[in-house]
Amino acid sequence: MTTIEKSRKKESALRRPRDLTRGAYPGWFYLPAGVIYGVLFLLPTVVSFYFGFTRWNLSSAEFIGFDNFVTFFTQERLNRGFINTLIFGALTSVAKVALGLLLAVVLTSGIFARGYLRAVIFFPVLVSTIGVGVTFKILLDPFDGLVNQGLALIGITGPGWLTDPNLAIYSIAFVDIWKGVGLAALIYIAGIVAIPSDYFEAARVDGSNAWTNFWNITLPLVRPATITVVILSLIGGLRSFDLIWTMTSGGPGFASDTIASVIYKQYAAGYYGLSTAGNVILFVLVTVLVLPIYLFLNRKSKEL
Amino acid sequence: MIHSRKKSKRLVIGASVLAASLALAGCSGGDAGEDGAVKLTWYMGAGVPDDIATAEALAAAFNESNDDGITVEVDASGPEGVEGDNLIKTRLASGDMADLLWYNSGALLFALNPDQQLLNIQDEPWVDTLNDTYRSTISTEGGTYGAPVGNAMGGGILYNIDVFEAAGVEVPKTWDELLDTVKTIRDSGVDPVIQSYGDTWTSQMTVLADFYNVLGEDENFADEITANETTWQDGAGLKSFEKLQQLADADAFNADYSTLLFDQALTKLANGEGAMYPMLTFTQATFKQDYPDSNIGFFPVPGDSAEEVGLTTWMPSSVYSPAYTEHPEEVKEFMSFVASPDGCAVIGETRGNAGPFVVDGCEMTGEVSQIVSDMLPYFEEDKTKPAFEFLSAVKGPNLSNFTVEVGSGISTAEKAAGAYDEDNKLLAQQLGLPGW
């Protein structure tokens, strides 16, 4: 072999990992991140399962069995949070998937100022949630807010977006969708752009229009992106706290509480055991909802 | 390879320096000063400007008058409302509280677990000069914990005298008369009762200020609640919730009640855009200062009979100290200044003559506003009773949310009272009270 061939062979041998399953780096590289994750996430999760069964005032914990969980599901001001969480999670997740896909299809077509529009759609994702919450609280004020004043100009009396107990959670869901749809669109754009154009050319030959293109090519082939968006938005929606707290603090009364804000209120009141029980319930809820969906969607995609 | 060994050695040294500096930064420094001069920090929330002004005036007067080199500095950076409570409870429990703390007396104090967390000052000589009712709101069986930083005040209904005159109504002496007054004022085109649910704590006032009448029906109500022998839903307390519901049903509120803030409500009352506002009398200082042309009076929440009208009183907030403070002797010296005629004089100057002092030897001097002079006869004739939170520790933290629900028409008086009972049960169990 010539020198050049020898050195090339040496280079490729160095680049190729010795054992494909082991990987190129030793497992010790996981240690620092693993320690932090274990101490700050795993350990409190496990310990909270214990404290959820106690009455805790930070210095002593008295074991009381399932009382905290019973309280959570029987007291109306607490179990309303449970229902609101499910509504909020489902609504925001579905809307983000649908709107995100729609926007992604529009933004990957040949429309004018595509780059600028993509930036505008994505910008709310980057803004602080607290800032968005405070701003929309002011905008949605039933008397002085811009939204209702604008509606009044065209003759409609706007409702109390955040003060009507039946409307509050939906108003907050709308703001959450506005804020998060950019991320969904971004993921979908990546998915759509990755579809090879051969499919579209072949379809054009067969005489397809925009709708059949979308339904038969785009939609099935962005399935991995759909799975990602569904899972991420569902988890985020179920755990949502910042927007609800800044916009209504769970009010009026308890009408727009979600489990996360209920947990915070119990913690603020000094009921540490009850608050931890709420956290356990949230953990179980998210796992029970998201894990089967994740497994179902992924299994189907493997078959594909 | 030598290259990577050197690099890893540098990495290790760098990491250990970083860790050491982090550990040192984690230690919170105490303030001992250079020549033994002690600096005490007084922590409070940013919610009520009058309170901050009082604290700063007391600190300034003490710093001038004491000759032991002690300085008190006010730290009013705390958040208000629920967030403030939350922060105070957490800081106390985690050992991170300042030397001095401004907080309510009564039930809210007891929720802080004072026997374990606060400095006990029961052996101080000035403790015997405290008014008995006030003393019971800052003491447990284990000790006494605070010094008063305000006056006793009343809770009831502030009203705009000019609006009443224009509508041709008099101060109502029974609750039914009040409902008639509401109707007359509504017909005259003015909002009869202002509500400000933008600040949820104000929604409780109607219910809480009715307590004199509750005790009139059942004088042991507070003790019975504490011992779990009666409930708000089944006992004399339900009437207070019903009064709020009757106001809501009578369409007595301003249109923007759900988002109006506390100081906006005071402005409305001062401008005559609303006739009545259920509130505490400490607001007389705001009216005197910011709305000197306004004509505001005060009357207690009426009951069923005109002869039995009485005032529900609120005890002042107090200054406390955590049990683990590093300067207990200096703290006690400051507290004894606060609970002395000198301290009272400072409070009187800052807050105006807002109500009777709770320390013997402190007198109100100078002129009083209309609100206070409407309130004083009840003190003089001994027709006062402390509000519920000063007679019992079982005041659940969610009352303001329940009253918002009743006032907004989301819930009924009975349901809200029942939910409040459940809330109290959680609190009583958390406090470890017997019988729950």
**Which one has a higher pLDDT value, B289 or A171?**
A171
Residue B212, domain member (yes or no): yes
B157: three-class secondary structure by DSSP: strand
Of A55, A58, A141, the CB nearest to B259: A141
Tell me the three state secondary structure of residue B379: helix
Candidate from A58, A252, A268 with C-beta closest to B410: A252
**Rounded Cα distance, B133 and B124, in Å:** 18
CB-nearest partner of B410 from A58, A165, A271: A165
CA-to-CA dists, residue A161 to A142, A169, A248, angstroms: 7, 9, 10
- Cα-Cα-Cα-Cα dihedral sign, residues B284, B287, B293, B299: negative
User: Which residues are registered as beta bridge partners of B312?
Assistant: B155, B385
Integer CA distances (angstroms), B118 to B62, B133, B140, B144, B389, in order: 22, 20, 11, 9, 19
Taking only the tens place, the pLDDT of each residue in B360-418 is 888 887 778 899 999 989 988 888 899 999 888 898 888 999 999 999 999 999 999 99
Say whether both B58 and B159 belong to one domain: no
Query: DSSP characters for A70-113?
Result: HHHHHSHHHHHHHHHHHHHHHHHHHHHHHHHHHHHHHHTTT-TT
Q: How confident is the model at residue A169 (pLDDT cuts 50, 70, 90)?
A: very high
- Does B224 map to a domain? yes
Kindly compute the dihedral angle of the four CA atoms of residues B48, B150, B207, B145, in this order, to the nearest 10 degrees: 100
The proportion of chain A whose per-residue pLDDT surpasses 70, expressed as a percent, equals 90
Q: Which of A59, A76, A77 is the best substitution to test chain B (most B C-beta atoms within 10 A)?
A: A77
> How high is the pLDDT of residue A9?
58
- Mean pLDDT over A193-203 rounds to 90
pLDDT at B90: 85
Residues B397 and B253 in one domain: yes
Cα–Cα distance measured from residue B180 to residue B175, given in angstroms and rounded to the nearest whole number: 9
Q: What is the pLDDT of residue B34?
A: 45
A55 contacts B430? CB cut-off 8 A: yes
CATH number assigned to the domain comprising residue B328: 3.40.190.10
> Which residues 58-87 of chain B have a CB within 8 Å of chain A?
82-83, 85-86
DSSP states along B78-125: EPPHHHHHHHHHHHHHTT---SEEEE--THHHHTT-HHHHB---TTSG
Distance in angstroms (rounded) separating the CA atoms of residues A272 and A280: 12
Give the model's confidence band at A298: pLDDT under 50 very low, under 70 low, under 90 confident, else very high.
confident
* Torsion sign, CA atoms B337, B341, B342, B348: positive
Taking CA atoms, A97 is separated from A226, A232, A233, in Å, by 7, 10, 8
> Which residues, in sequence order, are CB contacts of A249 under 8 Å at separation 6+?
A261, B82, B200
pLDDT digits (tens, 9 = 90+) for A243-278: 999 999 887 888 899 999 999 888 888 888 899 999
State whether residue B8 sits within 8 Å of chain A by CB: no
**Tokens 């000069």 sit at which residue?**
B129
Using only C-alpha atoms, chain A has a radius of gyration, in whole angstroms, of: 25
Please tell me the least confidently modeled range out of A80-94, A123-137, A183-197, B45-59.
B45-59
Same domain, B298 and B331: no
Residues B126 and B159 both lie in one domain: no
In a domain, B29, yes or no: no
Give the C-alpha separation, A184 to A221, whole Å.
16
Q: Do residues B289 and B242 share a domain?
A: yes
Q: What distance in Å separates residue A89's CA from the closest CA in chain B?
A: 24
pLDDT in the model for residue B67: 82
**Which among A163, A251, A271 has the least Cβ separation from residue B426?**
A271
Do both B137 and B162 map to the same domain? Answer: no
Which chain A residue's Cα is nearest to B397? A269
Please indicate, yes or no, if residue B295 is contained in any of the structural domains: yes
Q: Residue B21 domain-assigned?
A: no
For residue B7, the model assigns a pLDDT of 58
B94 neighbourhood in chain A, CB within 8 Å:
58
Residue pLDDT, tens place only, A11-47 = 555 555 555 556 677 888 888 999 999 999 999 999 9
> Residues B296, B160: contact at Cβ < 8 Å?
yes
Please say whether the beta carbons of B51 and B44 come within 8 A: yes
Q: Is residue B99 in a domain?
A: yes
B101/B203 same-domain check: no
* B177 part of a folded domain: yes
pLDDT band at A101; cut points 50, 70, 90: very high
For residue A82, the model assigns a pLDDT of: 87
User: Is B144 among the domain residues?
Assistant: yes
- What does each C-alpha distance from B192 to B5, B177, B272 come to in angstroms? 82, 13, 10
- Contact assignment for A59 to B93 by CB distance below 8 Å: yes
Q: What is the ipTM of this complex?
A: 0.78
Do B200 and B109 belong to one domain? no
Q: How far is A2 from chain B (nearest CA, A)?
A: 29
CB B254 within 8 A of CB B275: no
- Residue A55 near residue B430, CB atoms below 8 Å: yes
CA angle B423, B424, B426 (to 5 degrees): 70
Residues of chain B short of pLDDT 70, as ranges, are 1-36, 82
In CATH, which superfamily holds the domain spanning A77-303?
A: MetI-like (1.10.3720.10)
Which single residue is written with the structure tokens 């804020």? A179
Q: What are the pLDDT digits (tens) for B256-311?
A: 999 999 989 999 999 999 999 999 998 888 888 889 899 999 999 999 988 889 99
In total, how many domains does chain B have? Answer: 2
Inter-chain touch A269–B398, beta carbons under 8 Å? yes
d(CA A181, CA A232): 12
Helix H or strand E encompassing B161: helix B161-167
Q: Is residue B228 exposed (0-12), middle (13-18) or buried (19+ Cβ within 10 Å)?
A: middle
CA distance A228 to A242: 22
On whether both B159 and B246 belong to a single domain, the answer is: yes
Q: What is the pLDDT of residue B398?
A: 87
Last residue of a domain, one of B346, B364, B382: B364
A209-233 tens-digit pLDDT: 888 888 888 888 998 899 999 999 9
pTM tops 0.95, yes or no: no
For residues B430 and A226, give the distance between their C-alpha atoms in angstroms, rounded to a whole number: 46
pLDDT at residue number B32: 45
Q: Which residues does chain A have within 8 Å of residue B398's beta carbon, measured at their own beta carbons?
A: 77, 265, 269
Residue numbers of the domain that contains B332? 39-152+316-364
- Within 8 A of B422 by CB-CB distance, chain A residues are 75
B175 and B285 part of one domain: yes
Token representation of residue A289: 């909802």
* Joined tokens for residue B238: 């339900």
Cβ proximity of B279 and B299 under 8 Å? no
Q: Are residues B211 and B296 in the same domain?
A: yes
Q: How far apart are CA A9 and CA A6, in angstroms?
A: 5
Give CA torsion, residues A54, A58, A59, A62, to 10 deg: -10
Optimal mutation site among B91, B258, B264, B273, interface A, most CBs of chain A within 10 A: B258
Q: Phi and psi dihedrals of B288, rounded to 5?
A: -65, -40
Question: Which DSSP string do the residues of A195-250 spell out, in sequence order?
Answer: S-HHHHHHHHHTT--HHHIIIIIIHHHTHHHHHHHHHHHHHHHHT--HHHHHHTTT
Q: Residue A2 — very low, low, confident or very high, per pLDDT cuts 50/70/90?
A: low
Which are the contacts of B42, defined by CB distance < 8 A and separation ≥ 6?
B55, B59, B72, B73, B74, B75, B98, B99, B100, B101, B102, B319
Which chain A residue's Cα is nearest to B415?
A76
Q: Are residues B211 and B358 in the same domain?
A: no
